[in-house]
Amino acid sequence: WEIMADHYLCTLGEVMVAALPGQLVLSSETRVMRGTEEPLSGSLKARERVLLNAVEERGELSMDQAGELLGVRHPMRLVKELVDRGLLALVEEVHETYRPRTTQFVELHEAMRGEKDLHAAFDALARAEKQLGLLMRFVELSRCLGDDPLPVAKRELLKRSGASPALLRELVRKEVLQVVERPLVPDAPGDERPAPIALTPPQEEALNAVRNDWKEHATVLLHGVTASGKTELYMRLMLEALERGEQVLYLLPEIALTTQVIARLKRQFGDRVAVYHSRLAPRERTTLWLRMLNDPGSTPIVVGARSALFLPFRNLGLVIVDEEHDPSYKQHDPAPRYQARDMAIVLAGLHDARTLLGSATPSLESLFNADQGKYGKALLTVRHGDARLPVIERVDVREAARRHRMLGRFSQDLLDAISRALDRHEQVILFQNRRGYAPVWQCETCGSVPQCLHCDVSLTYHKRHHKLHCHYCGREYDPPVACGECGGEKLRMVGFGTEKIEEELATLIPDARIARMDQDTTRGKHAFEQLLDRFGAGDIDVLVGTQMVTKGLDFDRVTVVGILAADDLLRFPDLRAHERGFQLMAQVAGRSGRRTDPGVVLLQAREVHHPVIGYVIAHDLEGMYQRELEHRRAHGYPPFSRLVQLTLRHRRESLVMQAAAALGPALHARFGDRLLGPEAPPVARVRDLHLRRMLVKLGKGNYRSEKADLARIVNEVLDQGEWSRVQRIWDVDPM
């Protein structure tokens, strides 16, 4: 916790809230009580007298009660004035919110001292046949006359005996039996040995490379192409860790998107596998946390999203970070804004454990660390079985439009490939990195676009609900019938999202069974799993989706993948845009042809000769890596520096601007041209809070001292006057 708080410039309290299940975080309530001083005659104002009289009358008040009494939402200022004068005192009451899950058990009444008392009870119940039958069934189930009695659950006893609760209450009243509440104890993992895991020769070679690298490096990067069988290699390493009596942490970027992997692990390791992520019910998370704390042997393998880092491991021997490049490992809000991949390496170091980072498209930072000798590196360059890497074809949508070979957002080449796949009873995945129906509604007269009233961002139209959505604050608006700026009634939809792609394809290929996978269609607890089950069963022909379709999907019948607007992925104003674009395209392409049937990927773009698109088509990670590395080196970006981003936030734009204007020169005096900003971000207002942002490049050699200087200067400038009310949001290693 201390390492995380120090590195990510946050408080220990913020780390604690992130680390502990909500039910284990103690809650407190401030109570107002009478102080030791007496008020001077005539010294109290009317509201002060009202509050003081209420406290004297009731003994104490909660802060909510004090506010209600005074007719204000925040009574602390008035209360504190009276506390400072000794007239009132504050007391914090701390409450534990977690209550362990319990069940009712039946046992012999404490008055039943031994076998003699039990026989006497049998005799007394000779005329009450049903009560006698219930008691005899209890004796049978509990083996209470033997040396090793068993606990008997009330529900089980009533079910097995056919007795009613009233009958049991009679035996309790007669002090023959008693009902007690006890915490539920989960079953211990079974003793059966997991089945051996067979690997192919290329997998064995990669496994041996990992083992050899671990002799010199605590962390090894496994670069395995899509469908190469990295999961089988992971499972072999898990099996070896279990045989050594060690615990395993297997991190996945998003648990909801990796149900297939979890199912495979449970088939192999059974109840040795526990799953931990934020979508679990609070009680489930708390139960697992306490079980690992009190009985480490009960949970040998933990599969989880980034929050699983905080579980109380006692004997951690292996940490696996799958899809280590995935941006979902970065926590954005609230603090701590940590990178789970990096903290997993720190966690492994604290336990003297080994770490394996795996990906088909490793992050540039991890590749650089491997090249510099900081990490070991192992390769798995062939697909499992006889599968071949898919053929990737580029489609120039401008040329297709000129030749009248575009139907809506689909080129004729892509439609033909989809039709051929469906004729062969194969499946198709279509990737469009934007949900909703259309990005914006635009006035044809003045060009105005509807904006969120609380954020500086345009609204996205969702046809299914006929609403305009703000994807920043979540608010919904009714679509306008006229332009809000000029009153013009000619409005058109510009751009396209997954919802529009789904609708267009249904019109173009009416017989196709089409489903959509994005945040809008997978909100329910089991919606994602149900969608995957339908796709796996062949009930869906075409799956249209956002980034969700790039992660963890492994289906035999997928032979065609379409990327609708590939160059849109490369246009974000972000230093990692090209790296991310390559990763997304390569990953979604890897969903195709994962078995013996060759796959094809059609990549639609306007700039078909963009260098990154060329690297994707050639499956050339090394070329992309070297190009991006030169760009980063030339401009002093990671991995040649460390970035720290500071965002200032307040409801008053003028106050944020003044604070940023004062802070900029102070930081420039220390960091020079390594300071970028302060400036307004592309979305400069979110939830009515105005933003100003600055980015500082810190040298890797003296990173800690420069980061300390940065924090000190910011605090010195912004702790003055009104500027202290401006919220500071630190983001170390921003993504």
Which CATH code, of 3.40.50.300, 3.30.70.420, 3.40.50.12640, 3.30.1330.90, is assigned to 201-380? Answer: 3.40.50.300
| pLDDT > 90? residue 629 | yes
Which CATH code, of 3.40.50.300, 1.10.1370.30, 3.40.50.2300, 3.30.70.600, is assigned to 642-732? Answer: 3.30.70.600
**Lowest mean pLDDT segment, chosen from 57-61, 334-338, 542-546:** 57-61
Per-residue pLDDT, 186: 57
Cβ neighbours of residue 658 closer than 8 Å, sequence gap 6 or more? 722, 723
Closest to 60 in 3D by CA, of 79, 77, 74: 79
**Terminal CA-to-CA distance of the chain, rounded, Å?**
21
72-76, 250-254, 521-525: which has the highest mean pLDDT? 250-254
User: What are the DSSP calls for 86-102, one per residue?
Assistant: TSEEEEEEEE------E
Q: What is the mean pLDDT of the chain?
A: 88
Per-residue pLDDT, 366: 97
Can you tell me the mean pLDDT for 653-681? 95
Closest to 355 in 3D by CA, of 367, 343, 345: 345
Q: Tokens at residue 622, please? A: 């090394």
- Return the HEC string of 342-400: HHHHHHHHHCCCEEEEEECCCCHHHHHHHHCCCCEEEEECCCCCCCCCCEEEEEEHHHH
**Lowest mean pLDDT segment, chosen from 134-138, 155-159, 386-390, 424-428:** 386-390
Selected residue with higher pLDDT from 23 and 48: 48
Classify 391-437+496-631 by CATH class.
alpha beta
Confidence of residue 665 (pLDDT cuts 50, 70, 90): very high
Three-state SS at 439: coil
- Contact (Cβ atoms closer than 8 angstroms) between residue 298 and residue 336: no
Rounded to the nearest 10 degrees, the angle between the axes of helix 201-214 and helix 230-243 is: 50
Confidence of residue 298 (pLDDT cuts 50, 70, 90): confident
CATH 3.30.110 fits 24-95, yes or no: no
Instruction: List, for residues 339-390, the tens digit of each pLDDT value.
Output: 999 999 999 999 999 999 999 999 999 999 999 999 999 999 888 877 788 8
Bond prior to 362 in cis (omega within 30° of 0): no
Three-state SS at 155: helix
Residue corresponding to tokens 């605090």:
715
Can you tell me the mean pLDDT for 254-264? 76
Q: What is the pTM of this model?
A: 0.80
Confidence of residue 394 (pLDDT cuts 50, 70, 90): very high
Identical fold, 201-380 and 391-437+496-631? yes
| pLDDT > 90? residue 492 | no
Q: Domain residues of the chain, as ranges?
A: 24-95, 102-183, 201-380, 391-437+496-631, 642-732
Three-state SS at 134: helix
